[in-house]
Amino acid sequence: MNIFNYFKKKGIDTVDPSFYRKIAEWISWYEGNVRNFSFYKVYSGRGTYKRCRRKSMGMAKKLSEDIADLLLNERVTITLDDDQTDEYVQQVLDDNRFLVMGNDYQERKAFTGTVAYIPYLEDVEITEDGEVLSGRICINYVDAPNIYPVTWNNGRVTECIFAFPHTISRKKYVQLQSHLLKNGEYVISNAVLRCESGSQEGTELTEEEWKLLKPFKTLAKEIRTGSVEPQFVIDRLNITNNADQNNPMGVAIFANAIDTLKKLDTEYDSYCNEFELGRKRIFVRPEMLTNEDGSPAFDPDDSVFYALPEDDANGEELLKEIDMSLRADQHSKAINDDLNYLSLKCGFGTDRYQFGAIGAKTATEIISENSDMYRMIKKHEILLEDALKQLIRIIIRLGMVLNEPLNPDAEIVIDFDDSIIEDKETERNRDRQDVSMGVMSHAEYRSKWYGETLEDAAAKLPEQNQVME
């Protein structure tokens, strides 16, 4: 089944299919299974070839892990200035394991460019009058291959279709969830397709048919949100999409460094093979290869022992040792050079990755070397902060649908703790100077460094003033 054939049949325009082939390529690098690269053939003589798997450094995976840990980790805090609203939002995030799943999907965002979060109501009880009695908020997490933007403006996706694959009794199904603007409000509509061999666009099930299947038993055909704001959040890396400048999807962090990834894996494979090919060889006279009873004197699979060539077999030596020279240093230098180049191309600066042992470094050295990485992370945090705030606003809106006493105008503060790449003591001393110069207020200082709201910090100002004096 080709989902784009279904879209064409329904008259739905989305991102060009060729871009999703790019996403598939990035995923293959992350998984370490790249077509026409991860495996190669080596001529083994006598017209035969040996299929070899290329050894990989796994740098696509490493880059994705690292940026995910820098963007969304246990140090990131989300706070709202309304206590009741804050408590409710935190509970929803905890119930949906957002810290764990959020970090996972930051990694997915790193190697695919784009992810999405879709809050929705589950187990809703409604009276005959349409009054909502109870329910709970859940979050669906979606990765790039299942995101199909329909309309967008200034890089922000305003209408979108999401795909949710299912396997039921060994049969494949796809739920398509459309978030479209109709008559000034967002309407969420669902369709279920059965993927059948030989069918280009699949077979669309009726609502009665899909309700017979357990995963879709409670699936509604249409939901009117009553809101002019979308009930989904698109989160992407803050990298200009030079693979297709006409679509709002993001690109992988290593999208423009594929050539370097290839070169690194080629060098690493050669480095590993160097120790195999460079082992000691022992050549023996042909008569020494067998015992008196004709049995092999050496293991035939042992690559150390070889028969002397015919022209040398008449010599006096029974054994001849050959020591191969290893080019480990040359390989290591080439790998380290390309690691630096890869790190630079992906925004981490130089000396981020080293092949081989490195000595300990002081905090000051680390901070100075991470200036490029710091700027890169700050750039990505701009879009991530916007996405997180959108998510929280949707949670608040859905909570109010459940009749929770929440404040829709509560201020949201997201603190990305950059202590991993930033010298916190230096920053704190700088803030103290700002306080002394009157650039920063005592309340702002206390709020920032003691984790208090601005209101609570202001109430403790007399105590704060004594400390500063």
Residue pair 247/241 in contact by the 8 Å Cβ criterion: yes
What is the mean pLDDT for each group of 10 consecutive residues in the chain (469 residues)?
A: 87 93 96 92 70 91 93 89 94 93 95 96 77 86 96 93 93 94 92 81 87 90 91 95 92 96 92 69 61 59 54 55 65 88 89 68 50 86 95 95 92 80 68 85 82 78 52
Please choose, from the candidates 255, 240, 242, the residue with its C-alpha nearest in 3D space to the C-alpha of residue 379: 240
Q: CA-to-CA distance for 37 and 281, rounded, in angstroms?
A: 31
pTM for this entry: 0.79
Residues forming a β-bridge with 310:
none
Copy the structure tokens of residue 116: 């999405």
Q: At what angle do helices 328-345 and 59-71 cross, to 10 degrees?
A: 40
- Strand 132-143, strand 156-168: pairing: unpaired
How far CA 130 is from CA of 125, 152, 189, 463, in Å, comes to: 9, 33, 19, 53
User: Strands, DSSP E only, in 308-458?
Assistant: 319-322, 412-415
**According to the model, what pLDDT value does residue 187 have?**
95
Query: Which residues fall within 8 angstroms of residue 433, CB to CB, at 6 or more apart?
Result: none
Three-state secondary-structure class, residue 364: helix
pLDDT at 202: 78
Cα(27)–Cα(342) distance, rounded to whole angstroms?
Answer: 18
Q: Any idea how long the chain is?
A: 469
Q: Whole-angstrom Cα distance, residue 162 to residue 230?
A: 13
104 within 8 A of 427, measured Cβ to Cβ: no
pLDDT at 178: 96
**How many alpha carbons fall within 13 Å on the CB side of residue 14?**
26
Structure tokens at 65: 């892990």
User: CA-to-CA distance for 17 and 362, rounded, in angstroms?
Assistant: 48
DSSP H/E element including 41? strand 39-45
Give the integer Cα–Cα distance in Å for 204 and 191: 7
Strand partners, 51: 41
* DSSP structural state of residue 296: B
R_g of the chain computed on alpha carbons: 30
Distance CA 399, CA 86 (A): 12
Distance CA 19, CA 247 (A): 9
pLDDT at 444: 85
Domain ranges of the chain: 3-257+377-401, 261-358, 432-468
What's the pLDDT at 359?
Answer: 44
